[in-house]
Amino acid sequence: MSERSVARKLTSVLAAQHYMERRLPRFLVQRYEGGSGRAVTLRRNVEAFDEVTFMPRVARDFGARRLDTTVLGGTKLSMPVMIAPTGGLAIGHWDGERAMARAAGEAGTAMVVSSSTGTAIEEVAAAAQGPVLFQLHHLYGRENSARMIERARASGCTALMFTVDARGGGPRERHPRETAFAPTSFGPAELLRAAPQTLRRPRWLWDFLRHRSGLTVPMAPLKDGRPLSVFKIMEALSVRPAVWEDVDWIRGHWDGPLIIKGIITVEDARRAVALGSDGIVVSNHGALGLDGVPATITALPSIADAVGSRTEVWFDGGVRRGADVVKAMALGAKGVLIGRAAIYGLMAAGEPGVRQILEVFRQGMAGTLLALGCESFEDLTRDHVRIPADWTA
């Protein structure tokens, strides 16, 4: 079945997840679906949206819904949904970040490219039809970060997103019966051990053997010039974790918009604003960091109340449908990033799959605004939702 044929079946994020699971070997499914620890935060990120209820205004007359917005003072988007930075995409689908960038551009929105991309930023930016932002991690420290910033600037990236919460958080816990063997390289011996999984997924295996994509991180060359292995990313991140003092250092190398990602407390949000950030992302790293932290949607209202008048507040974590985006926007977000939702579309059906998922979000947002009695996001207010009292405590 062609990617276009599969894409037509992606009527929801859940459907995309299903078709991803049918295409990928189990170890890659677990890589893209899983969270750290016992996955408590991963589940809460999704489930907490159910605690937000809508308060619609009925019998109101208006024209077609408008979803467009402007972020960072001048970047116009057709909708507030953007693609979050996610690493390791090209192992699962050979076209990886290029496909994501093309789909985002066609949808009229932006993509944030991860430092741990399997595709060089120059290639992603060349494929893009819309705004591209670059997410900065310290991979082996500031020296390499300076090179990445320069490459992002030369590639035409419109903003830099500095991630401050990539500090590990413990291994993923699964019962041995549920844990698939995950290769630590793609040499012959490792591939042989993974054969019971890979041979059951011939479409993925054929693409992987043809392209051998995603095995290195081209944004982090080693001292001898060779690119970093994708299996060494956590080692590279641990050499020099992000600290607040890095913000002034980054400003010395980057004069464009700077967004700080990984904020989950009001205290850190205020510190980011005091350091001059142009935006923050309320995020718990997609539940890949410390397990047991709050679901991001529960942290959003108090953070937006504290700093939303002084900086742009973006949001990610657990977003699975257009109604979730509307809830986040009503609670103070200016933009919403989707990670796993876009990954599922890519892994299920490549670029057509990502395009379809973005269209699912577009339709979901438009339908939710219609039901709420809003013509656009400009009409949406906090009064359109109800949340538990302790979320703003």
Phi-psi region of 254 (alpha: psi -120 to 50; beta: other; left: phi over 0): beta
- Pairwise CA distance, residues 63 & 375, whole Å: 7
Phi, psi torsion values for 355, nearest 5 degrees: -60, -40
10 Å Cβ neighbour count for 74? 8
CA dist 48 → 61, 266, 287, 320, 387 (Å): 32, 19, 13, 12, 10
CA angle in degrees (0–180, nearest 5) for 123-124-130: 130
Q: Say how far apart CA 362 and CA 107 lie, in whole Å.
A: 9
Catalytic residues: 285
281 within 8 A of 260, measured Cβ to Cβ = yes
Q: How is residue 287 written in tokens?
A: 């539940």
Is 352 strand, coil or helix? helix
